[in-house]
Structure 1
Amino acid sequence: MQKLLMVEDYLQRNPSVIVIDPIENVKQLLDRYICYRIIRSTDLCNYGVFTPNFCDLKSDDVLTMQKTLKSANVTYPFICKPILGHGSKEAHEMSIIFNERQLEQCKIPCVAQSFINHDAVLYKLFILGSKFYFVERPSIKNFHTTERDVINFHTSDVSKAGSQHPLCILDAEDRNITKPLPDPVILERIARSIRKEFGMDLLGIDVVISNRSCRYAIIDVNVFPGYDGYPNFFENLLECIMEKLRSQHVK
């Protein structure tokens, strides 16, 4: 936080400095609950894109958690995510809660988000200015029962390229399922809408496709992602910077 205050102070004293992504816009992504609310406020639902039901859990009282989950239509299993979306290792340490008996294992405060079966396939959508690119990554397998132990995991372990984490290996009953191919038109719609809504040029969006409805679900948005797999990244980043410079000169 101290470093952030120093940067903000520097920008206030040097208003001529051009910032690609304003800090105020970046702050929207530091709180997952606020981030999901912003996504839900877009018109993406008109194109079959959604954010799985979510709520913020602030109390460790089980009855209070039950009421909050029910009010938000969050179903089991759900993923328990830290409120803080960035800035620390703990921000990416999550749990899968399968039933009410496990609510006391939630790490409060957190955001609870319904888990969507998606055949262990995640699409990383990278936004770089006016351009976007997506890559396929491993993800969490399907779950067909709520009678199992809580699962704790770190997102980088299951979604990094080539991951062979046990959570990424589909059960035998799911291995012969024909997975839907991603539609670049829908992914472009997601990229443009999210970029516009957050007012940012350097973003990563995690998208899965429900194996039940074939609808696209946005499960996370990240500030300045790793861009692993983005072709000619540095050339495109430079072009993005030049576009920003040109737009500022026009003003």
Structure 2
Amino acid sequence: MAEQSTSPADSISRPYTYTIGYAMLSNKRDTFVQPSFLDMAAQHGIRLVAVDTCRPLAEQGPFDLIVHKLYGQPWRAQLEAFSALHPDVPVIDPPAAIDRILDRYTMLDVVSNFDTDSIGIPGQVVVHDAAALADPALAGVLGDLRFPLIAKPVEVDGSAASHDLCLVYRREGLHGLRAPLVLQEFVNHGGVLFKIYVVGDHATCVMRSSLPDVPDERLQDLAADATVPFSNISLLPPPAAGDGDDHAKMPPADFVNKAARELRRALGLHLINFDMIRTKDRDGNCKYLILDINYCPGYSKMPGFEPVLTEFFLEMLSARSGAHEQPGPDSGLGVEAR
């Protein structure tokens, strides 16, 4: 039987209008299904029930909506069988749409179609064969990329290994790296990263720490390590803004909202976040670069996530064909894009 999630405030019976089934790895649930969120959802007639992945999804429920962060063909087959039986139940989000951002090389393709010159992506290449990294003709692989480079696993599968990155300062640092991988040009950005959480049409920008700038002399220091591994840099507190430091200034809200809207619609996804940095182009103009996109991130790290997620689910549920009447955007949640 699917295990029902409850919050401390759910000690008395509540009348529920909707049931949402969620399917996630155990280490991801705590970043999404928080007691505070469960309680707010319950106050608006929503209960969240953990899907039992050991049983056919079609035999569970009934569900009014499915939200998931699981990968692989067996799970996809489960969703397809469920949707065939219940075509009116929304699945957030369709696996075919999620696939595009499970590849770090292709996930950024849509940014090139943005209708603005102030946002782009760093130069990058994908290397499928580790032998190519030791090839004397490596310049043919790197093209116009300049060191330092960020080496990232191509596949994003939710595992800890998919978040193991390296900063490569010079050519010999590439030797021994495992392929396939993406080599992305590192651009100095003041050690500040902007993480934008997107929930439907709502976007919230949070400032986080990033890798510090790399001075030219570090690239020439042959006594220093050629490759340095790192992970979870963005979990550190953001650096304090110094006088005249543009890097640590929050991007304009209208710019964030537009970038989030274009990215979400281009990908056909509702629940994402993306990492963005501010730098300058060759003419000294402000330029934003999108580095990475993640599906269904840990929303517990987003300030005020509870009303945002609750209103989003209410909107999706109310839009269902034949849905029960339920308060929509005027339900008193007071959520605004920011």
Indicate the residue corresponding to 1:52 in structure 2.
Answer: 122
Aligned-pair distance for 1:177?
A: 5.8
Deviations 1:63-108 (A, max 9, x none): 36431211xx322111000011232111110011122222213321
- Matched residue pairs, number? 237
| Letter matched to residue 82 of structure 1 | P
Indicate the residue corresponding to 1:86 in structure 2.
Answer: 157
- 1:232-243 equivalences under 5 Å are 232-243=304-315
Q: Is the alpha carbon distance of 1:24 and 1:97 closer, same or farther for their aligned partners in structure 2, counting shifts above 3 Å?
A: same
| Letter matched to residue 127 of structure 1 | V
2:189 is aligned with 1:118: yes
Deviations 1:171-205 (A, max 9, x none): xxx97662342222221221111011011111101
Between 226-235 and 52-61, the greater mean CA deviation after superposition: 226-235
| Letter matched to residue 195 of structure 1 | R
Indicate the residue corresponding to 1:69 in structure 2.
Answer: 142
Contact 2:88 2:321 in 1 (8 A): no
Aligned-pair distance for 1:122?
A: 0.6
Deviations 1:192-242 (A, max 9, x none): 110110111111010110156431010011101112443432222121122
| Letter matched to residue 50 of structure 1 | G
Indicate the residue corresponding to 2:75 in structure 1.
Answer: 3
Aligned-pair distance for 1:248?
A: 3.8
Q: 2:204 aligns with which of 120, 124, 133?
A: 133
Q: Secondary structure at the match of 1:34?
A: coil
Unaligned stretches of 5+ residues in structure 2: 1-71, 323-338
- 1:15-54 equivalences under 5 Å are 15-40=87-112, 42-44=113-115, 46-54=116-124
Q: 2:178 aligns with which of 100, 107, 112?
A: 107
- Higher helix content, 1 or 2: 1
Indicate the residue corresponding to 2:332 in structure 1.
Answer: none
Contact 1:20 1:241 in 2 (8 A): no
**TM-score, structure 2 as length reference:** 0.64
Contact 2:195 2:274 in 1 (8 A): yes
Q: Distance between the aligned counterparts of 1:222 and 1:110, measured in 2?
A: 17
Between 73-82 and 223-232, the greater mean CA deviation after superposition: 223-232
Contact 2:147 2:170 in 1 (8 A): yes
2:288 is aligned with 1:187: no
Indicate the residue corresponding to 1:225 in structure 2.
Answer: 297
Contact 2:110 2:263 in 1 (8 A): no
Q: Is the alpha carbon distance of 1:161 and 1:96 closer, same or farther for their aligned partners in structure 2, counting shifts above 3 Å?
A: closer
Q: Which portions of structure 1, spanning 4 or more consecutive aligned residues, are displaced by more than 6 angstroms?
A: none
Q: Distance between the aligned counterparts of 1:52 and 1:199, measured in 2?
A: 23
Indicate the residue corresponding to 2:328 in structure 1.
Answer: none
Identity over the aligned pairs, expressed in percent? 25
Q: Distance between the aligned counterparts of 1:6 and 1:134, measured in 2?
A: 34
Indicate the residue corresponding to 1:205 in structure 2.
Answer: 274
Q: Secondary structure at the match of 1:194?
A: helix
Aligned-pair distance for 1:161?
A: 4.4
Aligned-pair distance for 1:29?
A: 0.9
* Bigger radius of gyration: 2
Say which structure, 1 or 2, has more relative contact order (CA 8 Å, 6+ apart).
Answer: 1
2:94 is aligned with 1:12: no
| Letter matched to residue 293 of structure 2 | V
Q: Distance between the aligned counterparts of 1:74 and 1:123, measured in 2?
A: 23
Unaligned stretches of 5+ residues in structure 1: 164-168
| Letter matched to residue 82 of structure 2 | Y
**What value does the CA root-mean-square deviation take over the aligned residues?**
2.5
2:234 is aligned with 1:159: yes
